[in-house]
Structure 1
Amino acid sequence: MRRAVVEHGNGEISHDDVPSFPSYRRPPSPTTTAEVDLSLLEALESSQTAAALEALDLKGLKKLVLAFERRLRDNIAARLKYPDQPEKFADSEIELHDEIEKLKVLSGSPELYPDLVNLNTIPSLLGLLSHDNIDIAIDVVHLLQELTGEDVLEDNDEPARTLVDSLVENNVLELLVQLLPRLSETDPDEMAAVYNVLATIENLIEVRPVVAELVCERTKLMRWLLGKIKTREFDGNKQYASELLAILMQSSAANQKRLGGMNGVDVVLQAVAMYKSRDPRTPDEEEMVENLFDCLCCLLMPLENKERFLKAEGVELMIIVMNQKKFCYASAIRALDFAMTNYPPACERFVDVMGLKTAFPAYMGKANSHEQGQEETQQRRIGRAPDIISCIII
């Protein structure tokens, strides 16, 4: 007999006695993967998945929920009985993980969402977002993202609202945002979980627009988003953070004022300042920069935020961006338009810092680039800038 090291799904390690056999290496198979018809395997897998989705009804849902609740109780009992012996409850968490995965089949039958709510499963699921094992919490986040996906809820408005209302009533917003600091973006799985958290919140807003204000009132999501867009390194989660922040700003005047009071104007200006003299490197990064300017323009609608913009030298920064004639050129003009509308102090500052000298080339539809290709590209970016500048001057 020899001792084998076994790593469980939650990262815990146990030692079990297993028989010792001489090592044996299987000879190469004469059938290579190239000879296997992968299309047949994919078709078989798709047909099995479709069959599983079609087979789910209320009876099947109750069976899934019962199995999930049983595994949840087993895990809770094992953790209470052996709090300092992870190997004693590791198996129960693997089984709990499997049951959560099985619940994903419900995304194929959104008409059963009201039944899921009536079975009182939502509180049990959401409670796992605070589970000590981060992998279990990640499983639930992935499940929520699938259940609330746009493609799933597209033609199921009433079931979708029933599910979202139940989730919000059971504190899904607070629990999701509280999970974010626990996730390390140096780990690929946890980085993906951050993305899924943001996607789930966006899905909830899509179904119930009032969630845009609720999530800002009840949680520290906006502060987390501000921290994310301040980072210099670009990644998919930074892009999504900018997109979600723009959605929150577009949806609510209260959110615009709330973010302004959190030093949001200054933070967004710092984020766009990274691109004052360079272009984004990828289309995704371009989209993020556009999201940031969308945030800035929305922020500049309340009067108090115009004052903050002026104090943070936002007018000067936008003029610098225009002088550089990079990707942000037209976006800077748009931001100035929002800043100066019905706010004379910003107009005066614009004139005082020689903004008209920078504005007139755009007003005339010209971009003084040294290379013809750059000039043509800049003209496309300016778009309706002459009309915008005309409004500013008037």
Structure 2
Amino acid sequence: MSGACSDRYRQQEKAASRPPLPKSAIAGGGAGSKRKHEPPAFDPQSYKSVKLDSDSDATTTAAVAASGSKHRTGAVTIRDVGEDDDDDDDNADGAGEEFAPGQDADYYAEEDEDGRFFGGGLSNVQKQVLQIMENGGDEQQQLPGEDLTPQSVRKQLLALEKAVNKNRDLRTKYPTEPEKFVDSEFNLLETLRALFLLATKPALTYPLLLENSTPNTLADLLSHENIDVPVAVIEVLEELLDPEDLEDDAQDDGDDDQGDGDATEKKREALKALLDGLVEAGVVDLVVAQLQRLNEEDEGERTGLFHTLGLIENLVTLSPPIASPFLSPKSPFLSFLVERLSQDKRPAEYDQNRYYAAEMLALVLSLPPELVDGVNEARQRVGTEGWVDALLKVVSVYRKRDPHSADEIEFMENVFDALCSCLSSPIPAAAASSKPSSSAATPAHHAVKSAFLEGEGVELLVLMLKAKNLSRSRAIKTLDHALQGREGAPLCERFVESLGLKTLFSIFMGRGDDKKKKKGGGAGGTTHEDVEHILAIVSSLFTSLPSDSPPRMRLLAKFVESDYEKVDRLLEIREDLEARIAKGIDPALAREMDEDELYLEKLENGLFALQLADYVAAWVCMEDDGARDHVKMLLSRRDQSLNDIVAVLDEYASNIGDGDAVGEAAEERPEDAPLSEGEERKAILGELAKYLESVA
């Protein structure tokens, strides 16, 4: 009896030590009082004895009903404390500092049938932001994170360590009893979310994160059994490593004084140091591993996948070499991206992750090989792993229809960009050197172009050219990359066999553009970029198609037919390009530039397209005398001659590669070794220039 009485008195003392339930929580009057951010210091164990009784008085029930609550609510009572809650006495004093987890005034406002409590759905940070918005931008209102000090940050990080240790101990002690450690897990999640504010002052907080070995702690949490914990860690890291904050600061400091510039530099250094610490702790590999853990059937994990891709994008943006492990054959990253973007039978809410997967694939495959090891090897894997067929299947949908939204347009472009990066990738040196010396004169095997040819990619793109949808411009660009180089010779022949010349030259002549514009849809008119890619395709055809072969004869016939109308169009394009270059360069500035700067400026204004146009014109002149005379006649109308084309070709040849490097390579190369593609191109340009000079 005495034991029961003492338990009852202990319960009454504990109830008296707690603050009363706020009126706003009972009457449904909102989120309660607003509080500034503080590190979570509550203990959920101390609130186990608080419960809303189902037998509430009519007044309280009516008040809650008036507030719009959908759940049954009653008066506050004290339930019996179990034997497992004996340690609540030790936490009673500390619990009085905050009346509810997360200082959420709505924590006790609702309950479900099982008596579990729900808050208002807003964290401390979200409530602070909402308060700032309600105050209408009051200058005296303190923004979240402004009260951060080294002491408060250390206290926050210490709270994180305590939450991690407590949760680990309880999980180890009660592995089969989740109710024993669920409260500690909730506390851990709240403590993690409180780290968001550290991103507001990286110069102050990031060194403290490293000082307290927080990267190692976060790395350990990425392997937590509860998937909600790794998702929370990923969201925090995504916020801490957001490169857009640095870009915004750099723009803001453009017109500011030197002090603000130094502050931005300190932020940049702090961010780099934190990134290095995370890499050293093994966070990068653990983040990629989460992709296979997350189940998109669950809404929270579906959102977690989106944040995981966002974090990986931040990592690659801040430090491209970090992507090297992602691109390794041992990593599941590329296979996951291809598989995810290929899934098109899911509900609409899944599309954001699908679109993000396509964006990430295009990003990592476009990284410069000189900065990131393994990029060329990863591009070739797209061919060897059968992923070319998957990408072609995705883009084939847009042969008959246009994308339905701006997001879907970007998705389509990203898939095409991924294909272009792989098709234009050079063969890795290791793969090329593994070929026997007897086959040195034969083009090395290009896995992506071979898979593209076998998968009938050329035929698909030709059909897209005929359809005149939004995919037409992307198909032209992809064909340009596919037909380039020695490895593109088989694709050039397939292009002619697929009747691609008729459709290509129809676009080249601009036929059907006005009609399509009047209908208000489709690809619209031919852009400057389209013209450049078309000239590049024709250039590749002239370079790769064998002399006197039927495909080459069909190509030449296109320039001769209809009284040389294709030649007229070619010279018209050449004239427009010359005007663009002259208009885009200020003569006064041109006199102050050196030769290299002037050449780069001309490239920005369309010089490369002009070089391609003159390359095609030179081939046409060499192959057909009638076409040559027609070109000379058209040039003479503008007081020009074939020597003007020769000047462009000479400038083109002199800027292909590094002359010294080419010379050294020629000295070291055996006599029977074939020329490199750059040397072969220069040799062709030299022969064309000599011929034009002889007939000028």
Instruction: Tell me the TM-score normalized by structure 1.
Output: 0.87
Cα deviation 1:225-247 (Å, max 9, x = unaligned): 00111111461111111111111
List aligned pairs for 1:228-239, cutoff 5 A: 228-232=340-344, 233=346, 235-239=351-355
Q: Which of 83, 89, 93 is residue 175 of structure 2 equivalent to?
A: 83
Q: Deviations over 1:196-252 (max 9, x none)?
A: 100100101111110122222262111100011111146111111111111101103
Count of residues in Structure 1 that have an aligned counterpart in Structure 2: 372
1:124-163 Cα deviation digits (max 9, x unpaired)? 1122122111211211111111111123344422112111
**Residue aligning to 1:246:** 362
Aligned twin of 1:221:
333
Change in 2 beyond 3 A, CA 1:237/1:45: farther
Which secondary structure state, in structure 2, belongs to the residue aligned with residue 138 of structure 1?
helix
1:47-126 residue pairs with structure 2 within 5 A?
Answer: 47-48=141-142, 50=143, 52-111=144-203, 112-126=205-219
Going from structure 1 to structure 2, the CA distance change for 1:115 and 1:299 (only over 3 Å counts) comes to same
Deviates more, 1:310-319 or 1:186-195: 186-195
Alpha-carbon shift at residue 338 of structure 1 (Å): 0.2
- 1 CA distance for matches of 2:383 and 2:517? 41
Summarize the Cα distance change of 1:277–1:64 in structure 2 as closer, same or farther, 3 Å threshold: same
Look up the equivalent residue of 2:216 and give its one-letter code.
P
Tell me, yes or no, if structure 1 residue 207 matches structure 2 residue 318.
yes
C-alpha displacement of 1:115: 2.5
**Alignment CA distance shift 1:55-1:22 (3 Å):** closer
Q: If you compute each CA radius of gyration, which structure gives the higher value, 1 or 2?
A: 2
Identity rate, percent: 33
> Which residue of the partner structure matches residue 186 of structure 1?
297
Say if 2:383 and 2:450, in contact at 8 Å, map to a contact too.
no
CA contact (8 A) 2:383 2:448 kept: yes
Task: Indicate the SS of the match to 1:281.
Answer: coil
**Among 475, 495, 499, which residue is 1:332 paired with?**
475
CA separation of 1:381 and 1:22: change in aligned 2, threshold 3 A: farther
Q: Which has the higher contact order (CA 8 A, sep 6+)?
A: 1
- 1:257 is matched with 380
Mapped to 2, the partners of 1:366 and 1:346 lie a distance apart of: 25
Q: What do the CA deviations read for 1:41-80 (whole angstroms, capped 9, x no partner)?
A: 46479934x2x41222322221111100001000000011
The 5-angstrom pairing of residues 1-394 of structure 1 reads 19-23=53-57, 24-26=61-63, 28=66, 39-41=133-135, 43=137, 47-48=141-142, 50=143, 52-111=144-203, 112-154=205-247, 155=264, 156-217=267-328, 219-232=331-344, 233=346, 235-251=351-367, 252-302=375-425, 303-342=446-485, 343-367=488-512, 372-374=517-519, 377-380=522-525, 382-394=527-539
Which runs of 5 or more structure 2 residues have no equivalent in the other structure? Answer: 1-47, 68-130, 248-263, 368-374, 426-445, 540-696
Contact 1:248 1:255 in 2 (8 A): no
Q: How big is each residue's C-alpha offset from its partner over 1:301-330, in whole Å with a ceiling of 9 and x where there is no partner?
A: 133322221121110111111111111001
The amino acid across from 2:310 in the alignment is A
Please identify, of 380-389 and 283-292, the stretch whose mean Cα deviation from structure 2 is larger. 380-389
Alpha-carbon distance between aligned partners in 2 of 1:208 and 1:260, rounded to the nearest angstrom = 27
Deviations 1:264-309 (A, max 9, x none): 2222111111211111000010011011111010010133322221
Distance of 1:105 and 1:57 partners within structure 2: 12
Structure 1: runs of 5+ lacking an equivalent: 1-13, 30-36
Amino acid paired to 1:220: P
Q: Aligned pair in 2 of structure 1 residues 353, 146: CA closer, same or farther (>3 Å)?
A: same
Kept in 2: contact 1:340–1:346 (CA 8 A): yes
C-alpha distance in 1, partners of 2:225/2:526?
50
In the alignment, what sits opposite 2:677?
none
- Equivalent residues of 1:329, 1:381 under 8 A apart: no
Judging changes above 3 Å, is the alpha-carbon distance between structure 1 residues 71 and 42 closer, same or farther for their aligned structure 2 residues? Answer: farther
C-alpha spacing 1:17/1:54, structure 2 compared with 1 (3 Å): closer
